[in-house]
A and B are shown apart, each in its own frame.
Chain A
Amino acid sequence: MQIIATLLGTALLVLAHAQASAFTAFVSNEKSNTISVIDTEKLAVVKTIKVGQRPRGIELTKDGKFILVAVGDDDTIQMIETATYEIVATLPSGPDPELFTQDPTGRLLYVANENDNTVTVIDLSSRARIGEVQVGVEPEGMAISPDGKILVNTSETTNMAHFIDTETRRIVANVLVDARPRFAEFKRDGSELWVSSEIGGTVSVIDPTKHEVTAKIAFEIPGLRKEAIQAVGISIVGDGKTAFVALGPANRVAVVNGATHAVQKYLLVGQRVWHMAFTPDEKYLLTTNGISNDVSVIDVSSLKVIKSVQVGELPWGVAISRK
């Protein structure tokens, strides 16, 4: 009896601990056509979900009930229930969806369609397509301002960030950035928009009200040719003081001072680092490393890479839930 009580106590303790800091990360594996489910406390893959063809952009709905994953070669976005890991619906995303974003209320989904120069607007409750916006050639990066009023789309061949009024769905401004803009991220206070340029190898910091590039962040790594330094994913911590930029084939994540825009440090991660996500407590940053088929775990306070977790083939995107 004593033993049982002890066991029960231990189990409860473990459970309590797990509830305190365990989150679940979902990694889309572009080549395997799967999602790797990672327990962020164990830092291990606990399940693999089979999805459609060529999964890339991945997010959780605001209520945490669904994983949304763009399966480009199936021309749709799949909705996966987080409780069961079952695919329960597909969304009319338009052809070849890659990246998408939700409005702050979680009602609308904005999807970049690379093949026909449009952004598709989807109502998440009715799961119906309710509109579209014509943008530049090969739309890719998507971000929404914290107040939900401005949607930003980057177009890879036009080399611009398009500012779209979410009310009228009209473009209100276009800002030229360096070649092949891939990703856009607002600071949480809405004061700055950061846009990465893969081929240009830079991050443009844009004033979202003046629509002007106010700073350009360049990266220099001794021993690496300029061509190997390609800026892709951007993650900015909630207080805006530190940002992380994934540098693709440079196999490094740059740590950037959010206020001065100076590069502080380069962290060596896996090969072809693409996208990143924080755990909700911002303790860890997870990066997807396409060529080495793993996820690097960065400890945000010590700025150290503490572990790499093997996932499927060509991991591309990552999203992390509160549970």
Chain B
Amino acid sequence: MRRFLAGLVLLAWMAACADAAEVKIVYLREMESKARLSLVDIPANDDGLAGAQLAIDDNNTTGKFLDQQFSLVEVRASPQDDPATAALVEGDAALVIADVPPDRLLKAADAGRTRNTLFFNVGAIDDRLREEDCRGNVIHVAPSRSMLADGVAQYLVWKQWRKWFLIVGSHAEDRLYGDELRRSAKRFGARIVQEKVFEDTGGARRTDSGIAQIQRQLPVFTQGVPAYDVLVAADESEVFAGYLPYRTWDPRPVAGSAGLVPTSWDAAFDQWGAVQMQNRFMKAFGRRMTARDMQAWSAVRMIGEAAARTRSFDPGTMLDFLKGPDFALAAFKGQRLTLRDWNLQLRQPILLTDGRMVVSVSPQEGFLHQVSELDTLGVDRPETRCRLK
């Protein structure tokens, strides 16, 4: 009898091991508009997905020493699909990397809640997903819009460029970015001396003789503004910001959506071992690594870390580990990245790039915090409206 029981236990254990040996991660994506002002900014077809794939390879290198295997399944959604169904295509998917707009993410997350599915948001920067619309099963790997705004604002203030001329685009996302830049200015002691809206009147981003007109329009648009140090542009829709540098009426630097741009990653970034990452990515995919690639890489590496440390693929166990004090992600940012346990946002430094070089990395020197200097970026615990459910 005892031998029989022991055998039964052994069988159960083997079954558990077999279950634990492989995990499938869904990469849920909705293709966004590829309209960009600059040709070099047009994203590749596998933007984001490639980063996730590289992290799968990294996880599997570790996994081969721990008998853990990871695989990636791409699920494409189109705006016409029922947002909830797309996430559920893979019936048994417990871990989803989500690169989708906010509303689809929320619907998928709510549909996945009953099934204990854990989502990693790698695309949407909207603060509402971390605030009033936060969810207990959605981890935000992408920095929030407020973190990006604070990242660039800290540098401008450190540079003593405190008088800003703010130009905001006419689309919803542009206005949200404008709101965050205004909040950042107030938070860090900058002053907006004038604000203008740049109306999107339609029209192509690519024309054969566009430059001649732009060169005449932009100086006029930026004329007659009170004395300012820096022009800050909020143009997530890629309508005008890229045209601002070198074309302003007054000779002033540009920041925000063009000029000095806050981001989670840049192809020129080479500090803290990042060259290894850039080389590995280039070797594998024949192109340079973008911020979305890095966010997806980080998400899949978070899964790998949680799996290696907890020896489990259970989303609940993983979430507990990722929220806890023992989790530290090494992501070539010179310090450990951890989760804000109040809204599941990944703490991270923000790079400031001019498109050729990384100019600086925020938080800037002198911006202090009682818990983590990284919490000087974005909405902090005392201000949060998130109540995790």
Partner of B65, one of A158, A199, A200: A158
Query: Does A225 have its Cβ within 8 Å of any Cβ on chain B?
Result: yes
Q: Are B309 and A176 in contact (CB under 8 A)?
A: yes
Distance of B373 from chain A, by nearest CB (Å): 6
Binds A, one of B79-87, B157-165, B273-281: B273-281
* B-side interface mostly: helix
CA of A179 to CA of B301, assembled, Å: 12
Contacts of B66 in A (CB 8 A): 174, 176
Q: Could you tell me if A227 and B61 are in contact, using CB atoms closer than 8 angstroms?
A: no
> Using a CB-CB cutoff of 8 Å, which residues 265-310 of chain B contact chain A?
273, 275-276, 279-280, 283, 301, 305, 308-309
Please indicate the chain B residues that have their CB under 8 angstroms from the CB of A103 in the complex.
none
In whole angstroms, what is the CA distance A96 to B273 when docked? 11
**Per-position 1/0 for B203-246, Cβ under 8 A of A:** 00000000000000000000000000000000000000000000
Find the residue from A117, A155, A180, A200 having the highest chain B CB count within 10 A. A180
- Bound CA–CA A177/B42 (angstroms): 40
Nearest opposing residue in chain A for B374, CB measure: A227
Chain A 125-154, CB-CB to B under 8 Å as 1, else 0, gives 000000000001110000000000000000
A219 to B262, CA, bound (A): 32
Please give me the residue from chain A that is nearest to B308 by CB atom. A176
Instruction: State whether A227 touches B65 (Cβ < 8 A).
Output: no
Given contacts A137-B62, A199-B335, A227-B336, contact A115 B279 (CB under 8 A): yes
B328 within 8 A of partner (CB):
yes
Whether the pair A160, B65 counts as a contact (CB closer than 8 A) is: yes
Beta-carbon contact of A160 and B62 below 8 Å: yes
What residue of chain B has the Cβ atom nearest to residue A115's Cβ?
B279
Q: Is B131 an interface residue (CB 8 A)?
A: no
Name A226's contact: one of B65, B279, B372 (CB within 8 Å): B372
A-contact 0/1 string along B81-111, CB 8 Å cutoff: 0000000000000000000000000000000
Q: Which of B61, B275, B305, B373 has most A Cβ within 10 Å?
A: B61
- The answer to whether A225 touches B373, judged by C-beta atoms less than 8 angstroms apart, is yes
Given the contacts A157-B330, A227-B336, A136 and B65 also touching, CB distance less than 8 Å: yes
**B173 in the interface (beta carbon within 8 A):** no
Contacts of A179 in B (CB 8 A): 305, 328-330, 336
Are A225 and B372 neighbours in the complex by a CB distance under 8 Å?
A: yes
Q: Is A156 an interface residue (CB 8 A)?
A: yes
Give Cα A117–Cα B374 distance, bound, in whole angstroms.
31
From residue A301, how far is it (CB to closest CB) to chain B in Å?
34
Residues on the A chain within 8 Å of B61, using CB: 117, 136-137, 155, 158
Q: Please tell me if the beta carbons of A199 and B328 are within 8 angstroms of each other in the complex.
A: yes
Q: How far is the CA of A171 from the CA of B65 in the complex (A)?
A: 10
In the complex, are the beta carbons of A174 and B330 less than 8 A apart?
Answer: no
B58 at the interface (CB under 8 A from A): yes
- In the complex, the answer to whether B280 meets A200 with C-beta atoms within 8 Å is no
Contacts of B335 in A (CB 8 A): 199, 227-228, 230, 249
CB pair A138 B273 closer than 8 Å: yes
Contact of A96 among B276, B305, B336 (CB under 8 A): B276
Q: Are B62 and A138 in contact (CB under 8 A)?
A: no
**Given A199-B335, A226-B372, A227-B335: A159 and B308 interface contact (C-beta under 8 Å):** yes
Q: Which of B306-324 contact A (CB under 8 A)?
A: 308-309
**A185 in contact (CB, < 8 A):** no
User: Is A52 in the interface zone, CB < 8 Å from B?
Assistant: no
A316 to chain B, nearest CB (A): 13
Question: Is the Cβ of B336 less than 8 Å from the Cβ of A159?
Answer: no
With known contacts A156-B273, A179-B330, A225-B373, A199–B336 Cβ distance under 8 A: yes
Contact: B328 with A178, CB < 8 Å?
yes
- Interface 0/1 of A183-221, CB less than 8 Å to B: 000000000000000111100000000000000000000
A114 interfacial contact with B, CB 8 Å? yes
Q: In whole Å, how far is B56's beta carbon from the nearest beta carbon of chain A?
A: 12
The answer to whether A198 and B330 touch across the interface, beta carbons within 8 angstroms, is yes
Complex: how many Å from CA A125 to CA B275?
Answer: 32
Q: Mark B328-368, 1 if CB is under 8 A from A, else 0.
A: 11100011100000000000000000000000000000000
For residue A134, which residue of chain B has the nearest CB?
B61
Q: Are A199 and B372 in contact (CB under 8 A)?
A: no
What separation, in Å, do the CA atoms of A228 and B371 have in the docked complex?
12
Cross-chain contact B330 with A156 (CB below 8 angstroms): yes
Residue pair A157, B58 in contact (C-beta under 8 Å): yes
Given A117-B61, A158-B65, A199-B330, are A227 and B373 neighbors across the interface (CB < 8 Å)? yes
A231 to chain B, nearest CB (A): 12
List 7 additional contacts besides A115-B279, A160-B65; criterion CB under 8 Å. A117-B61, A157-B58, A159-B305, A174-B65, A176-B309, A227-B335, A249-B335
- 24 A-B interface contacts by CB (under 8 A): A115-B283, A136-B62, A155-B61, A156-B276, A157-B58, A158-B58, A159-B308, A171-B65, A174-B65, A176-B309, A179-B328, A179-B336, A180-B330, A199-B330, A199-B336, A200-B336, A201-B328, A225-B369, A225-B371, A225-B372, A225-B373, A226-B336, A227-B335, A230-B335
